[in-house]
Amino acid sequence: MNQFVDWMSQPWPWYVAGPMIGLTVPALLLLGNKSFGISSSLRHICAACVPAGIPFFSYNWKKETWNLLFVLGVGIGGFIAANFLANPSAIVISEATQADLTALGVSDFKALMPLDIFSWENVFNAKGFLFFVVGGFLVGFGTRYAGGCTSGHAIMGISNLQWPSLVATVFFMLGGFLMTNVLLEPLMKWVGF
């Protein structure tokens, strides 16, 4: 059992993890004619919990129970990985990235997510409002506007040769590059880093 836990807690090489993710698409299509994606589960949850007669939520959400179970499994898997299969080694970040982040006011490199940004103290201040509330709204709006999330478009849509998914994925990447290289520094200074 210890060998299995040791094997599971190590990073898997791209040539194993990549094909496993990629094979999810044909498996879902062949086994049930289902599309891979995460963002649609929020719509299913809203349709199940808020029956307000809103047309967007008026559909047979019970047919999509598999998607809700998939998202639940992702959450449970994340909990198990974080609490029982965590790699005890320090997070490896390149020195150049550490220097760039330090210049922006981020100095905690002990965890996967720096506590300088992702802490309970920041939930109710300008940093938290900008990065959690505004950022979360923009991600949700972008997901809805694009007709799906990065996993749905980049993994499922591109593998099905869907032109809108290719366009959406290109713009997801461009948005990430723009945020990282142009907007992040002024925003971090604006909120007091």
Task: Determine phi and psi for 155, rounding to 5 degrees.
Answer: -90, -50
Give the mean model confidence (pLDDT) for residues 43-49. 86
**DSSP three-state, residue 33:** coil
pLDDT at 151 over 90: no
pTM of this structure: 0.71
Neighbours of 128 (CB within 10 A): 19
Q: Rank 43-47, 69-73, 100-104, 127-131 by mean pLDDT and report only the highest.
A: 69-73
Predicted local distance difference test score (pLDDT) of residue 10: 75
Question: Are 165 and 35 spatial neighbours (Cβ–Cβ below 8 Å)?
Answer: no
Neighbours of 189 (CB within 10 A): 11
pLDDT at 64 over 80: yes
Domain ranges of the chain: 1-89, 93-193
Predicted local distance difference test score (pLDDT) of residue 3: 82
Residue range 70-117, pLDDT digits in tens: 889 999 998 988 888 777 777 788 899 889 888 888 888 887 788 888
